[in-house]
Structure 1
């Protein structure tokens, strides 16, 4: 049976095998699912035109299809192993990669279809059904990376001095690295130790998550005083009301759930309540709370196990192992970026806090220092005071259809494509739209995507997420398949004669997810193994999604996506300037916080020091606040790096933003010349959008920009300058 665990920012997949006196048995243990005799050989869920049969799909045929396809894939891997054992492998691409492309194609499309249904119509695809499909498909897919025969055939080929394309080199390197990280080069004794560590790590992570979930749910403050909630927006009132049907009447329940916690700190005027919320949040897992729910020992054990696994695989630390799959390449490169950013961000943070304290003091705040539980509340009020920013007023200017028209027009102009809506396509809901993408000179589409824009309380999964991009089918010349994607959001639906309008943050999310989709849809690679974001280093995966939102601070683009609900006017210059100013408000504070968390993650997974000692060392370097050691145990609830996939990789979000800002600066430099903008757009398409994971992102960036990346563009975009310096 196959066991897959996430560690150090990578999915590490190991195959459990029978042990015999002579060593490891090479066969997989395959659990054969029940499959109907009439199951077709090809994907039963798709029409001959490559589009899903949404009007015929059921949970049962999704599960039956994935059961057969995953079994076919695993048996196919065994067949490849048998063939390369019996006959020397002359051409690994012909004998291994191409067969695996064919085997994986139908499984990947069924998997993508199932995820789309799960997020778009939870009635057709409940969570339990999707997770069963997801886990089964993931186990099958990684069987190609846990085959010793395939690994060593790829490794032998990679060692040969041959003239190959960069795409072929990247595929070979991917198989070799995945196999090594999965322990395929370890001795039997060390392999047993690694399996034990992985099993123990899974238990520790599960226990850490379980205790944090309980800690999060335990805190609740009942509030009945209406003066405390008088400035709450309506949706927040409903979210915290004991009875949402009577949310104006109360009482209200304040919790630590992420979708309400941060907004409560922003809107709650009572400092004592904010303090209790903040303290309860950062104290989760602390030994100062309920001892049976403390997670400090789990933190240390997870760190130890990951460090031990890294050493078994030949690395000095978990961070060193993680950097094998990152654009940065080393902790030193990330540290250098931090130092460059911190030189300006820390003084900017100090200045911002001084200004905010002065503002708060003028409005009745009686102490001489702002604490972390004060910042969100006074920051929101300060932003409103400075810029008169009111979300609902801006929302009146962003009708969804107008935003889509402008977004598509921008993409067409930059990347020389045409986006057309197509009718008559079956979908999972009547609100879903379908679009084809064409080259400007062609009549046949090169890619297609679904767009499901509206929230639906009855059948659509709704979590605190700005939206999703799902790659339903990848580009592959081997299988002659075109990219297919789905974009799913929870925007406010139309009401009667009034069309859907978006908040500015929702507009940003739409631009982000569409940028991510374009990387999937406009890829030009030969193999799906490196198409789109596949095989792109983790810290570069979010680059494309972070480039398009920069265009929202271009007045021409804003004019193309705005039309007032009543007058039809575009966004006035004064309001546009407000958007530009608000994104820079307290940017130094935000950047220092993000760097602190990123540095904390890297230190936790590279240092042997106790976690609290690491916090004490890093805190004053990045944060301009006293560290409340008695209450604050925030690493003990840092879920992203201990239970999610971002251990030793949390910095990736910030790294991708830095790269994206530098990419956009190439457009900004020629902003007054339309032809030069199109030239830069073509260069961006030919590199970041087209190459996918077929080249290292460092090389992709150099091909696009002609140099290595710099953090200067990020600082400039955030308005962070040296003290007393003007931009």
Structure 2
């Protein structure tokens, strides 16, 4: 009897033998086959049952995912020329197919028939929810448009997809193009040893002596936080915050200005075509919030509560910096530097002092230990799996001796890999055509500085929370109890609730009981000293008001850019950002700052008119964690309740219903304000219909 390898048993992509160029032709055939299969299905029978319709569609979608998914993933983590070319060739074809499916009236009517038929009441809750969401999405995709309008809609979606890809490519090219070669180590005074070693390694990779500074976030953050030479900080700040723009050292070379303007205009046209006044309401139609205006009220109300503390934080920082000989007023490239000095002065704590206790292997093991204590799941490494880079690992998530999901771990920054951190699906949980259950598989990606000088990668505490955050997304995908693909894992989850499991898991990075599990010195194994631990916990809410206001700046900019767009008299993107900054920003940005040109969440990701989701979900997460605080952060019963009520439910029920099932009430902003050490405010809560409920 032949025993299948895990690689083959899971039907995982074979990255070592993948032929990007050949995928385009294969995808052509697959899309044509799917179209023909769906047409035959709809033509052969007028009234289709759920079993006749949905499993077939699930199977067809999964087959496309197994072709397109790996290529799309490689476009983010290994953006070589052949991969970029294949991606660019396939994207228009897939976009056209998705648009056609969304506007297939016969398919839409088949789902309407299911909802209105006798069978519907006998379907399970996840099945019913899937049917409802499909009907909603058909309407949003323009199924009711006439023939000419459908053609226009398809053209608009095609252009939007191409522009988003161009934005991402130009941002990556701009990030990798700039570097600064330094011979004189005196210019790098203040930088920690780990950052210096990283810069030396980067120089060696280009056969250069001395040091090489690059625009990956790890290097940028180190310079902005620790470099004593102000001119160097300013130069680095300008290079980073003018990437892919008309300003800075690369001004005009990879400029995303026109891309952004065209994207906003196209989004507005799409929204108008399907009956919305603006793109914000079109986007929010799939979210917990009721409208763009309701979200704006939520954000402004949060700003009202946080801005006084943020302004007080900034005054304190300026006062401290002035005593230290800093500029008055502080420039944007001074803030992180003096904030770190103030943190050290106030709490006698340096972020670099903590890093030896957060070696990545130890943190990773601690992360797995934490989720085991919360949920009872076990994470184990798997060998013999094909990956796209030697540093990538593959792991199984099991429960009571049985596998429930798997994930790839790609944690280090490198060339041809886009910045940031994210989770994506590799395989979804669903039943295959042969009746076997396909287990979920996730891609989990971060961009930490790799090991240097024989040491393991040492993380800042902020990077520890990033790792926990992304793993929270992964658990949401892998721990799903739902077998209906369209509402399993993160599928079908309202976008402003999808961050709940990820932001929730961050809380365990701040609790003494969990920190004791993994905060250990990488050389001696000694636990994080009690005095350092208490200092770190005491500094938890350091400048929390400034952080929240920065997030509000991003969220309001994104929302108003799409909500207030007037095609007859379009306001420049820069002017929209400037007006938001005048209203909420406490850190003054220079006039040449072009942050928006690198805002990939909004212009190349899925967060257009949805960046507010981070703050919205943070309210939910803080409130959910308050139950753990009351009942014990490793209380097995609370963890089981979280799994059954939220993590395992995916999009099978409305997010607000799942929240109230777990908490027994609607959300309250008070928990968030309390967790950040801000004014507690009143007992208001996030709700559907209005941003707050009294």
TM-score band by shorter chain is 0.7 to 0.9
Alignment partner of 1:623 is 2:580: no
Gaps of 5+ in 2: 682-694
3-state SS of paired residue (1:326): coil
Match of 2:537 in 1: 580
Change (3 A) 1:456 1:329: closer
Match of 1:245 in 2: 204
Alignment partner of 1:464 is 2:419: yes
Whole-Å separation in 2 of the counterparts to 1:231 and 1:670: 44
Match of 1:181 in 2: 140
Match of 1:230 in 2: 189
Match of 1:87 in 2: 45
Change (3 A) 1:621 1:519: same
Match of 2:308 in 1: 347
Counterpart pick for 2:283 among 322, 326, 341: 322
Match of 1:671 in 2: 632
Q: Is the 8 A contact 1:107 1:137 kept in 2?
A: no
Alignment partner of 1:520 is 2:477: yes
The aligned runs of 1:373-384 (5 Å cut-off) are 373-384=333-344
Shift of 1:451: 5.0
Counterpart pick for 2:650 among 688, 692, 699: 692
The aligned runs of 1:493-512 (5 Å cut-off) are 502-512=459-469
Alignment partner of 1:541 is 2:498: yes
* TM-score (normalizing by structure 2): 0.81
Gaps of 5+ in 1: 1-43
Shift of 1:621: 2.5
Whole-Å separation in 1 of the counterparts to 2:151 and 2:101: 20
Match of 1:13 in 2: none
3-state SS of paired residue (1:374): helix
Whole-Å separation in 2 of the counterparts to 1:299 and 1:501: 37
Change (3 A) 1:66 1:253: closer
Q: Is the 8 A contact 1:532 1:690 kept in 2?
A: yes
Q: Is the 8 A contact 1:115 1:470 kept in 2?
A: no
3-state SS of paired residue (1:472): strand
Larger deviation, residues 603-612 vs 260-269: 260-269
* TM-score (normalizing by structure 1): 0.78
Whole-Å separation in 2 of the counterparts to 1:569 and 1:235: 20
Alignment partner of 1:554 is 2:511: yes
Change (3 A) 1:647 1:435: closer
1:450-507: CA deviation from partner (whole Å, max 9, x where unpaired): 45467597xx9655334x5443322114542222335455667778997665443343
Change (3 A) 1:556 1:349: same
Q: Is the 8 A contact 2:13 2:70 kept in 1?
A: no
Change (3 A) 1:454 1:378: closer
1:174-199: CA deviation from partner (whole Å, max 9, x where unpaired): 32233223222111233344345446
The aligned runs of 1:184-333 (5 Å cut-off) are 184-195=143-154, 197-198=156-157, 226-234=185-193, 236-237=195-196, 244-245=203-204, 260-271=219-230, 274-275=233-234, 278=237, 285=245, 299-333=260-294
Q: How many residues align?
A: 665
3-state SS of paired residue (2:425): strand
Shift of 1:647: 2.0
Change (3 A) 1:632 1:118: closer
1:173-232: CA deviation from partner (whole Å, max 9, x where unpaired): 332233223222111233344345446656776787788788878988787765432122
The aligned runs of 1:56-67 (5 Å cut-off) are 58-60=17-19
Larger deviation, residues 397-406 vs 705-714: 397-406
3-state SS of paired residue (2:534): helix
Change (3 A) 1:221 1:495: closer
Q: Is the 8 A contact 2:7 2:386 kept in 1?
A: no
The aligned runs of 1:20-99 (5 Å cut-off) are 49-50=9-10, 52=12, 58-60=17-19, 68=26, 71-72=29-30, 74-91=32-49, 93-99=50-56
Alignment partner of 1:604 is 2:561: yes
3-state SS of paired residue (2:430): coil
Match of 2:349 in 1: 389
Alignment partner of 1:531 is 2:485: no
Shift of 1:94: 1.8
Change (3 A) 1:105 1:644: closer
Whole-Å separation in 2 of the counterparts to 1:595 and 1:393: 31
The aligned runs of 1:114-125 (5 Å cut-off) are none
Shift of 1:685: 0.2
Shift of 1:322: 0.6
